[in-house]
Amino acid sequence: MKHTAQWKKEFADRFEARFDELKWLYCEVYNNDMQAFYWLTGAMYDYYQKRGTALKKRDRARERTPFWYSTNDLVGMMLYVDNFADNLKGVREKIDYIKESGVNYLHLMPLLKSPKDRSDGGYAVADFRRVQPELGTMKDLEALTDACHRNDISVCLDFVMNHTSEDHAWAKAAREGDEDARKRYFFFDNWDVPFEFERTVPQVFPTTAPGNFTQLDSGDIVMTTFYPYQWDLNYGNCVVFNDMVCNMLSLCNRGIDIIRLDAVPYIWKELGTNCRNLPTVHKLVRMMRIISEIVCPSVLLLGEVVMEPSKVAPYFGTKEKPECHMLYNVTTMASTWHTVATKDVRLLSRQTRQLSELPKDYVFLNYLRCHDDIGWGLDYDYLRGLGMSEVPHKRFLNDYFTGRFEGSPSRGELYNEDESLGDARLCGTTASLCGIETALSKGDKQALKTALDCDIMLHAYMLTQSGIPVIYSGDEIAQLNDESYHDDPDKKADSRYLHRGRLDWSKAKKRHDRKSVEGAVYQALLTLEDIRRKHKVFTASADFSVIDTENDHVLGIKREYQGESLYAFFNFSDAEQTVYFNAVLCGKELLSGEDVRGLGTGLKPYGFLWILCQNTD
């Protein structure tokens, strides 16, 4: 093994334990290119050497507790730096608010340098080593992560793997005819091969960015799976993999604890396939896992894989050869809002049961809302059996959440609407989708109470799921839709800015007043988070299952861990419902502190119960 005689023992020990597999994978993918492999291993040692003392101490601590992220005390928040506090220094000044909110996992949305007019929300990176100037500098990022670490807050950052901006130095050189730079992308001088790709590769944005290729002014054709200004990287070129790994390690050395692998299923391309989830993707991710375990073992890989749980699961890898540490529970978000509209929990129960059958060491991130739209990729094979056909059901959901359906209190907007298919994606904050905005505009106190109960119940459900709950910034104070984006020429074409508004700090000041909308939600979330932290039954490794409530409006979940059982019930209806148990249930309701004993109970509209029982077996 090259260099090992000069390496420090800590690095050398980690490297030697993983060398055989890393070399085997690299040689398999890159045709035994040992020169490139040893270049990579040398770079890995350089990044280890540059890693700060505090970060190395963090590495060692987390090596001793490798599953630290599967406990019940993590609560996440995702935010845009500018919307939250203008810039990175501003976020650092708001750490007390973050801590007060019970958050110890902070996801910073894309903040690396990207063109303002062609950024896709920061997902078109022009420089992986620089922060967007108006947000600050890399030193500011490092100062923020250091402050977060001193306050026991882990920091997550998006790592855009599949593509770069057309303004990236590599892309600029490729435009100018640099052959090495062109090999970093997929360049063609005619449409023959691109047309062959188009036969089998689906379109990501068929209405706003049709096709998977873009013809440049020069006549060259380049692969652009997402938008024309985002050029797909060619991971068949080992130089691309090596340099992107170094970009990742550079961010890790700035104090990033969780690397979100953006669009990871797309990174390997093969003619004649759909270029999604190909076997080599998993080899690349496995190598990234090995490399992080050697250089910076405290860092976690979070895979962004937008599919149903059974298809997402392979990205965890195996027990012997793990890949991602964590994945998003993508389908549950859409299914949750489907359940809000239909008031029918059967689909959600089915998906919860599917999740319960996966290994307990699979850690998911759970959320009600994120920065993106809500797509209705539901299990229509199952829903058809319930009388819900895909096209009319999507129309119903879109009508419901935009307030066009009679009696709906929701206020959202559509994104990428395709009228011919009756399809669209949904935008809106949690509060506005729950009806808080409508109730406030009408001055209807009863409707407001119902909407607040719905909002809080949904958060309680999210906190009951196995994994890490993540709150979208603003949801903790029931922030409403931001209509002002319609007047911004840079934003008005993208309705996702409806729920990407700036945090209203004047309203955040009301968070201590339980009589205010902001305080009602904020204080309820603090109470729920505190209960969750106190009881190990909420840990990710707990057994959980679905309870048959004999009521299609009420979802039931049972969690079991070390002699305790939690029975959780959620009423997705705006009417009172009754739940019956199969046996006498004896325990304590965790919110009220009241004793529970009986064969059934009533749930108020959008009510929920957390009943803790001590097992006597």
Each residue of 548-568: pLDDT tens digit? 998 999 999 999 999 999 999
* Exposure of 384 in the CB half-sphere (CA atoms within 13 A): 6
Taking residues 500-524, report their average pLDDT.
Answer: 97
Three-state DSSP class for 466?
A: coil
Domain of 145, in residue numbers: 1-161+238-327
With cut-offs at 50, 70 and 90, classify the pLDDT of residue 119. Answer: confident
**Terminus-to-terminus CA distance in the chain, angstroms?**
55
Instruction: From the candidates 262, 413, 423, 494, give the one annotated as an active-site residue.
Output: 262
pLDDT digits (tens, 9 = 90+) for 448-458: 999 999 999 99
Specify the pLDDT at position 493.
Answer: 86
Weakest-pLDDT range from 152-166, 363-377, 452-466, 581-595: 581-595
Shared-domain flag, residues 155 and 45: yes
With cut-offs at 50, 70 and 90, classify the pLDDT of residue 190. Answer: very high
Specify the pLDDT at position 583.
Answer: 73
Weakest-pLDDT range from 191-195, 309-313, 344-348: 309-313
Shared-domain flag, residues 125 and 269: yes
Residues of the chain with pLDDT > 70, as a percent, come to: 98
Q: Are 569 and 553 in contact (CB under 8 A)?
A: no
Specify the pLDDT at position 617.
Answer: 55
**CA 578/CA 566 separation, integer angstroms:** 18
Shared-domain flag, residues 16 and 134: yes
**How many distinct structural domains can be found in the chain?**
2
Specify the pLDDT at position 6.
Answer: 84
Shared-domain flag, residues 11 and 105: yes
Q: Decide if pLDDT at 4 tops 80.
A: no
Taking residues 281-297, report their average pLDDT.
Answer: 98
Whether 348 is covered by a domain: the verdict is no
Shared-domain flag, residues 298 and 156: yes
Give the CATH number of the domain where residue 249 resides.
Answer: 3.20.20.80
Query: Pairing mode, if any, of strands 543-547 and 554-561?
Result: antiparallel
Shared-domain flag, residues 155 and 169: no
Taking residues 165-176, report their average pLDDT.
Answer: 97
With cut-offs at 50, 70 and 90, classify the pLDDT of residue 616. Answer: low
DSSP state, residue 317? B
Whether 289 is covered by a domain: the verdict is yes
Query: Pairing mode, if any, of strands 154-160 and 577-589?
Result: unpaired
Q: Decide which of 327, 357, 390 is a domain's last residue.
A: 327
Closest to 55 measured CA to CA, from 148, 161, 159, 135: 148
Specify the pLDDT at position 614.
Answer: 85
Instruction: From the candidates 304, 413, 476, 574, give the one annotated as an active-site residue.
Output: 304
Q: Decide if pLDDT at 308 tops 80.
A: no
Whether 87 is covered by a domain: the verdict is yes
Specify the pLDDT at position 311.
Answer: 74
Whether 447 is covered by a domain: the verdict is no
Taking residues 281-299, report their average pLDDT.
Answer: 98
Report which residue type is found at 563. G
Burial status of residue 96 (CB atoms within 10 A of its CB: 0-12, 13-18, 19 or more): exposed
Q: Decide if pLDDT at 222 tops 70.
A: yes
pLDDT digits (tens, 9 = 90+) for 332-388: 999 999 999 999 999 999 999 999 998 888 999 999 999 989 999 899 999 999 999
Shared-domain flag, residues 305 and 194: no
- Quick check: is 576 catalytic? no
Specify the pLDDT at position 309.
Answer: 65
Taking residues 497-509, report their average pLDDT.
Answer: 96
Shared-domain flag, residues 100 and 192: no
Whether 133 is covered by a domain: the verdict is yes
Taking residues 536-554, report their average pLDDT.
Answer: 94
- Quick check: is 86 catalytic? no
Taking residues 313-334, report their average pLDDT.
Answer: 93
Specify the pLDDT at position 310.
Answer: 67
In order of 480, 524, 609, the CA distances from 515 in angstroms are 17, 12, 22
Residue 394 φ/ψ, nearest 5 degrees:
-60, -40
Specify the pLDDT at position 341.
Answer: 98
Shared-domain flag, residues 131 and 9: yes
Taking residues 82-106, report their average pLDDT.
Answer: 98
Shared-domain flag, residues 292 and 153: yes
Shared-domain flag, residues 67 and 207: no
**CA 456/CA 471 separation, integer angstroms:** 12
With cut-offs at 50, 70 and 90, classify the pLDDT of residue 14. Answer: very high
Give per-residue burial for 389-421: e unless 16+ CB within 10 Å, then b.
Answer: ebeebbbbbbbbbbbeeeebbbbbbbbbeeeee
Whole-model pTM: value is 0.95
Specify the pLDDT at position 377.
Answer: 87
Mean pLDDT across the chain: 94
Q: Decide which of 201, 232, 263 is a domain's last residue.
A: 232
Shared-domain flag, residues 202 and 312: no
Whether 352 is covered by a domain: the verdict is no
Closest to 586 measured CA to CA, from 575, 597, 574: 597
Q: Decide which of 172, 200, 232 is a domain's last residue.
A: 232
Specify the pLDDT at position 421.
Answer: 65
E strands, 98-254, are: 105-108, 112-113, 127-131, 154-160, 163-165, 187-188, 213-215, 221-223, 230-232
Specify the pLDDT at position 205.
Answer: 84
Specify the pLDDT at position 88.
Answer: 98
Whether 370 is covered by a domain: the verdict is no
pLDDT digits (tens, 9 = 90+) for 30-89: 999 999 999 999 999 999 999 999 999 999 999 999 999 999 999 999 999 999 999 999
More confident residue, 421 or 567: 567
Q: Are 440 and 479 in contact (CB under 8 A)?
A: no
E strands, 34-114, are: 76-79, 105-108, 112-113
Give the CATH number of the domain where residue 176 resides.
Answer: 3.90.400.10
Q: Decide if pLDDT at 422 tops 80.
A: no
Q: Are 614 and 596 in contact (CB under 8 A)?
A: no
In order of 90, 247, 309, 464, 467, the CA distances from 161 in angstroms are 28, 10, 22, 32, 25
Whether 419 is covered by a domain: the verdict is no
Taking residues 197-224, report their average pLDDT.
Answer: 94
